Copies of this chain bind each other. A is one copy, B any other.
Amino acid sequence: MLFPNVRRSGLPRGKQTYPLHKGSFVSSSQAILSHSDPLYRRYAEVRGLSEVLARPLSAEDQCVQSMPDASPTKWHLAHTTWFFERMILAQIAGYRPFDEDYDRLFNSYYLAAGKPFVRAARGLLSRPSVSEIRAYRHYVDEAMRLACRQPKFADLIVLGLNHEQQHQELLLTDIKHAFYANPLMPAYGTAMPFSLGNAPALEWIQHCGGAVGIGHDAGGFAFDNETPRQAVLLQPFRLASRLVTCGEYLAFMEDGGYERPEFWLSDGWALARTEQWTAPLYWLPGQTIFTLHGVRPLDPSEPVVHVSFYEAAAYAAWAGKRLPTEFEWEAMASQGPVIGNFLDNDILHPRLAKATRGLAQMFGDAWQWTRSSYDPYPGYRPFTGLAAEYNGKFMIGQMVLRGGSCVTPKGHIRPTYRNFFPPSARWQFSGIRLAEDA
């Protein structure tokens, strides 16, 4: 996906069962590839993917918003563009904004940039149209050519690209939620080849504890919330070798998991009662599930996803285990490679773990809820300028998730990466990895 030229040669066309990310992007990226500026080349790659992701969606699909936490596709496309315009282009003398009104419409939550439009009402923005937003993107992309050559903007551009990647993931989780609200339950992608297998046996991988380095240091991009790097003391612990499977989660359900308060945090129990949870989100009657590829039978060997933190913690309590802390997770994850089932696989659903020595599925497939609240690291300093509002102001009431998912763009994730959602959130590809004291 991100490297379509490679892919085109690397994959026999006949086996391509998921052709949606094709066509025009190829040509536009070819034009981009001839561009001499590596930053703009990267810029064009990332930006191009957003448009590819929107391609299977009609104008109406791109307009709907199924809940306040989700945004319409075209809002994602416009907001990420506004981010570049407002953070970078606005600093360039003579730059003329595409439309003065967009500041009001496509600001997400940067109060320093004015009063954002009501979040829950983004789905009412039938105007500007999908095609106007496409024109907006092209307008800004053109202007960014120049910006990409100015070193002073490099950091902000890289931030903007990482920001856009985050929205690429959200675009997919949000349209999944919107399609699920429609009784027709449309599929976003074409049917996925589906074959049952058995998940490898669960093993426990030991960490001996002691002082470990946590957080990002020197090399490459990181968000402010991953810094500064710090030393942390760990007790010995063990991590499960793979994610919890649907079959394992079914055993919890069949053992009364959703009816037995003793496994649940108090708030979680109350919410599960109110919302009448009896299974993960997107599970349907008759052991079928709704996926981005449509409705299909539940595969007991694939990882369970779309569980809240509350459900993850209840499952862990039922299993006699616990969730890892984010430090434990990172201590383990930083020892291995960042490989996994990411968005570039075109399989928009977690897959069966591979039989492997040691830890599987540390990256990709499913975000892993940790037993760590999203607090600042010692010595944490937010980005400066408008970007100061990026992470810090959300450091309350949320839990840390690690590892990325099947819809995380490849190259976006790191061992130090801290994602965060409220403990009630279920619409992300969030799953469970267990831990235990050693």
Contacts and interface: CB of A to CB of B under 8 A. Distances in A.
Interface of A: 58-64, 66, 101, 104-105, 109, 111-112, 117, 121, 123-130, 178, 181-184, 186, 211, 230-235, 261-262, 264-269, 309-310, 313, 325, 371-376, 378-379, 388, 393-397, 399, 423, 437
B124 A66 contact: yes
Contacts of A130: 60
B129 A60 contact: yes
- Which of A111, A129, A183, A264 has the most CB atoms of chain B within a 10 A radius of its CB? A183
Count of this chain's copies in the oligomeric assembly? 4
Contacts of A261: 111
A205 B231 CA distance: 23
A233 B262 contact: no
B233 A126 contact: no
Given A126-B178, A437-B379, A395 B265 contact: yes
Given A60-B129, A66-B124, A183-B101, A375 B378 contact: no
A186 B372 CA distance: 43
Contacts of A111: 261-262, 269
Contacts of A183: 101, 104-105, 117
A375 B313 CA distance: 13
A258 to B, nearest CB: 14
A235 to B, nearest CB: 5
A376 to B, nearest CB: 7
A74 to B, nearest CB: 8
A396 B60 contact: no
A378 B325 contact: yes
A372 B184 CA distance: 42
A374 B375 CA distance: 10
A215 to B, nearest CB: 12
Contacts of A423: 396-397
B373 A375 contact: yes
Contact of A128 (B127, B184, B230, B264): B184
Contacts of A62: 60
Contact of A211 (B233, B234, B309, B376): B233
A371 B325 CA distance: 18
A127 B231 contact: no
A200 B331 CA distance: 45
B181 A121 contact: yes
Nearest to A263: B393
A61 B62 CA distance: 12
A268 B394 CA distance: 10
